Amino acid sequence: MSTIFSKIISGEIPSYKIAEDDKHIAFLDVMPLVKGHTLVVPKKETDLIFDLESDDYKELWGFTQEIAKKIKKAVPCKRVGIAVVGLEVPHAHIHLIPLNSMDDLNFKNVRLIFSPEEYKEIQKSITKA
């Protein structure tokens, strides 16, 4: 299974990377619900998040926690919400979404579009947090 996330991980498709280690990558969602919406993805191709090995699952959440703290420092919000949906891309991933109201977590909302310069500025603010 070669997903869009696998292509981002391999560098075949560019992304606005927030962080990366040997097992995980975090990058800005290019169709965000709100400013700072970030995806956290295990590099190992696994369709369902609950099919990850127990240690890999725990490590993914530890990495996710680190990224969420950076987002909270960089993006004005009341808190950073989490969503695991898995219906659009068959590669396990976690949405980190800066929230100011429950409406910010509605996937039926019109997605935002930023210029490349705006994405780079958001990326920079989170990575430096």
Report the C-alpha gap between 58 and 56 in whole angstroms: 5
As given in the structure block, the two tokens for residue 34 are 């709100």
Considering the candidates 24, 37, 91, 93, report the single residue annotated as catalytic. 93
Q: Nearest CA to 20 among 67, 78, 74, 69?
A: 67
Helix or strand or coil: residue 123? helix
Question: Is the CB of residue 47 less than 8 Å from the CB of residue 90?
Answer: yes
Please give the single-letter amino acid code of residue 95.
H
Which residue, chain included where needed, has tokens 């430096």? 128
Q: Nearest CA to 97 among 79, 70, 121?
A: 79
Active site residue 91: no
Helix or strand or coil: residue 79? strand
Active site residues: 93
